[in-house]
Structure 1
Amino acid sequence: MITQKLNDQITRIGPNTPAGAVHRHYWQPAALSDEVTNDEPLVPVNLLGERLVLMRGASGDLVLTARVASPDEAPTHHPAPEDIRVVDGAPIYPVVEKNGIMFAYLGGGEPPAFPNFDCFRAPESHVFAFKGLWECNWLQALEIGIDPGHASFLHRFLQDEDPSDSYGKQFRDMAADTNMPITQVLREYPRPDINVDETPFGLKITSLRHMTNGLTHVRVTNQIFPSAICIPMSREMIITQWHVPIDDENCYWFTMFTSFQNPVDKEIMRAQRLKEHSLPDYAPLKNRSNNYNYDPEEQKTKTYTGMGLDINVHDQWAVESMGAIQDRTREHLGRGDAAIVRYRLMLRKAIKAVETGKLERLPMQDRQETPQIIGPLSNDAIADSEDWLAASQRSDMQRRTACPWDATV
């Protein structure tokens, strides 16, 4: 457990807060490219506790600046373009478009370079971007993503689906080189050993599910500082997902789905997700108001939660049910929370670095023309228990070698 003072320090993200100051030293997703059209030349953006507007400047470049808004404006409020008023003399924040997402930098000075992550260097044809609203603080949204053990329970499927209908869905693929669905692996081996290693971009999290016959299921996921994760979706795709603070009590997840082999079928993936979200606010249709469509009969035979087969809804329920800001003064972390513990230490070190002006100690503050950070490795593999590390790396290299775009590491 931690004190209330520390909980406030690591969760609140307004302009004059410790965690907010850290976030302002990084590029943050501000909007989807789909939101910025000729019909919508001014797009309201609520980010890091600020009420902003995304628009094209006189030179045609995208810029982000402050707009007039009431202090109690709802985080998903979308005023009509004719009602948007720009604040005179407000800072102009730079914006860069990367594979379907508009990233903004709200800090001072020169922004850092984008790392050479797979989601950024893959061609546009191999990346699909989407977002969704969660009504909770950004940190609990992130922490569920770096908890490898939760998938065996929260996402437990009591029946395994036909993998031929797995496209665009997580935990539907077959485990590597087997006829066993990932859902079965997670269900039958629910207590992984968890290794956590610090990296230049954040944390590498390896969960080991020791199976029968001397085999081990190896799942490598990553925490990308300050608020993103990179995880395997299937043997072909990875997910890079940012948990972007709107304000202290709401966040958007922005996701890039990156394919190593074939171009992404964006129409299928967009249609799958639009069935679950309303526009223009990208709010989930299953939410607190309808109890996330909880069905006790389904819970008896199909899923652990009784909330359908979309695992995003399971995560949403879990993080929103903790309250707008999770009360960490009552928690008791254990061995399975190793990545969460390491991340919070990293965040506190980053807060201290910003407060003391030692910005060189922040992760991923590379300002060289050629980004030095590549990858990262995010995949599932099944290997001999004595050879799990090398086997995981070989699996990643095989996928990259066959990739039609430059995925070399």
Structure 2
Amino acid sequence: MLKKADNQILTQVGEGTPMGNLLRRFWMPVLLEEEICDPDGPPVRVRILGEDLVAFKNTDGKIGIIDAHCPHRRAGMFFGRNEECGLRCVYHGWKFDVDGNCVDMPSEPEETDFKQKVKIKSYPALEKAGAVWIYMGPPELKPEFPDFEWAHLPKERLIVTKRLTECNWVQALEGGLDSSHISYLHRNLEDLKPQAIKKKDNLSVNYAANDRHPVFFIDETKYGHRISARRNANADDYYWRITQFMVPFHTLIPPQIKTGRDSDKHSYAGHVWLPIDDEKCWTFSFNCNPSRELDEQEQEIYHPRTGMWGPIDENYIPLANKANDYLISREVQKDYNYTGITGIPNQDAAVQESMGLICDRTNERLGTSDKAIIAFRKRLLKMAKELEKGIEPSEASMNDAYNIRSATYLANKEISITDGSEWLTKIK
């Protein structure tokens, strides 16, 4: 249960709100590189944290993200001409560079210096790891880009996707912190049968099906939380899933393992839950293998349009969505899987979006399996309230602390959780 006032702080992200101010202190992905790939190409609409913006790549290949409206008469810059290192408003020809400077004002007399007095709102942007990122906080506090492991990988080892999620960012992100729901929401009915649990070809499925009430351990770290879910594997071993939460909206999901006692060679996925406004968010997924190129099967699984995070349309809207009940089949639910919905992200979306655009957390009843969610809320609320008092988030400047990974592994029951999880989640 959460107080109404705290729920509002947690979920409201507009300009000037406590959480909106906090999120603006961090680099955020807003577009895939494929959306803005050509210099002097068409401008792209961007809505983030309740602000309407326009992104463009200038003649020199630099990214500009500026106000969606010209400061002259508020005409839409989306219709502008992207040419000669600037975006020109088609109403009166005013032209702006990537830093928001007015570099041409042909509707004014040449002798006037008016263009020197006019700027359009602009934000720093960069291309990194298959996405375009933006920083919207105070210029003097702009941090270095976080040292994510996947941000250094060649394109052969990384696939980046995004999809629209039709609810507030908090309830979407909280689904990524919840390791207990995999024993139910994402299960095939066959996996729950005793004979299936004895299979040896997919350890992750076996252990999640065999022990459906994991024990959680939450370690507070300088980057966020290390969330360890422990299940019984056999008489000697525990099965561990280590999820990472990185302040303020990043999660790393543990990989599935089919053989062996660790997950060093297995691919894993990270998510960024990026608020569009208070009622919608983008779910960015960074799918990678740090030690090798993604194989043909993985490329098919992670395909941006048709893979496991899809299928999606040309606007990154899932084809299975709230309007069509996520294409639920009651026959499939009866005979094949737990939900009757095909696809892990569609199953997640169905339950997350069913809570409403903004979940009313005053009516919740949280249990022991919700430790990670409780810890997340406390930390974000504390950070937002401290920022209101003038205390800047130290996490924003700890870029090297984000160089971690998630993990899935077996460990002898004598191994302590701290030794096991820290060792396996450090970047070697």
TM-score of the superposed pair, with normalisation by structure 1: 0.83
Moved more, 33-42 or 234-243: 33-42
User: Does residue 249 of structure 2 align to residue 227 of structure 1?
Assistant: yes
For the 8 Å contact 1:160–1:181, the answer to whether it is kept is: no
Structure 1 runs not aligned, ≥5 long: 70-77, 162-173, 398-406
C-alpha distance in structure 1 between counterparts of 2:159 and 2:80, whole Å: 27
Letter in structure 2 aligned against 1:364:
A
CA RMSD, aligned part only?
2.7
User: Which residue number corresponds to residue 119 of structure 1?
Assistant: 150
Q: Which residue of 1 aligns with 2:340?
A: 306
Residues 1:195 and 2:229 aligned together: no
Which of 111, 126, 129 aligns to 1:99? It is 129
Unpaired segments ≥5 residues, structure 2 = 71-76, 90-95, 101-117, 193-197, 257-262
Give the structure 2 partner of residue 277 of structure 1: 312
Quick check: which has more Rg, 1 or 2?
2
Q: Deviations over 1:88-122 (max 9, x none)?
A: 73321111111101110011123111222211122
Whether the aligned pair in 2 keeps the contact of 1:7 and 1:328 (CA below 8 Å) is yes
Distance change (3 Å), C-alpha of 1:295 and 1:40: farther
Question: Is 1:51 aligned to 2:65, yes or no?
Answer: no
* 8 Å Cα contact 1:13-1:21 kept in structure 2: yes
Distance 2:306 2:424 in 1: 29
Alignment correspondent of 2:331: 297
1:256 aligns with 2:314: no
For residue 401 of structure 1, what is the aligned residue in structure 2? none
The structure-2 alpha-carbon separation of the partners of 1:80 and 1:296, relative to structure 1 and needing over 3 Å to count, comes to farther
Q: Using the alignment, how far apart are the partners of 2:51 and 2:206 within structure 1?
A: 44
| Residues 1:342 and 1:395: Cα distance change in structure 2 (over 3 Å) | closer
Q: Within 1, Cα distance between the matches of 2:326 and 2:80?
A: 32
Query: 350, 355, 358: which one pairs with 2:391?
Result: 358
Structure 2 CA distance for aligned equivalents of residues 300 and 153 of structure 1: 14
- In structure 2, what is the Cα distance between the partners aligned to 1:316 and 1:237? 23
Which residue of the partner structure matches residue 259 of structure 2? none
Distance 1:133 1:2 in 2: 26
Identity %: 30
Match in the other structure for 1:380: 408
Residues 1:374 and 1:3: Cα distance change in structure 2 (over 3 Å): closer
Decide whether the 8 Å contact of 2:246 with 2:402 is kept in 1: no
Give the 3 Å change call, closer, same or farther, for CA 381–332 of structure 1 in structure 2: same
TM-score (norm 2): 0.80
Residues 43 and 81 in structure 1, CA contact (< 8 A), matched pair in contact too: no
Question: Runs of at least 4 residues of structure 1 off by over 4 A?
Answer: 78-88, 390-397
Distance 1:35 1:228 in 2: 22
Higher RCO structure, 1 or 2 (CA under 8 Å, sep 6+): 1
What residue is the counterpart of 1:404 in the other structure? none
Aligned residues: 370
1:155 counterpart = 2:186: yes
Kindly indicate whether the alpha-carbon contact (under 8 Å) linking 1:157 and 1:187 is maintained by their aligned counterparts in 2: no
Q: What is the CA deviation profile of residues 266-293 of structure 1, one whole-angstrom value per residue up to 9, with x for unaligned ones?
A: 85332533861001x2000001111111
TM-aligned CA deviation for residue 160 of structure 1: 5.0
Within-5 A mapping of 1:1-400: 1-38=1-38, 40-57=41-58, 59-68=60-69, 89-108=119-138, 109-160=140-191, 179-234=201-256, 235=263, 236-264=266-294, 265=296, 268=300, 269-270=302-303, 271-273=305-307, 276-279=311-314, 281-308=315-342, 310-359=343-392, 361-366=393-398, 371-387=399-415, 389=417, 390=419
Instruction: Using the TM superposition, give the Cα deviation of residue 187 of structure 1 relative to its aligned residue in structure 2, in angstroms.
Output: 1.8
| Distance change >3 Å, CA 354–CA 395, structure 1 → 2 | closer
Q: CA deviation at 1:156?
A: 1.6
Distance 1:374 1:6, change over 3 A: closer
Query: Could you tell me how far apart the structure 2 residues matched to 1:24 and 1:213 are?
Result: 48
1:36-80 Cα offsets, whole Å, 9 max, x none, are 1338431111101001111124653112111139xxxxxxxx977
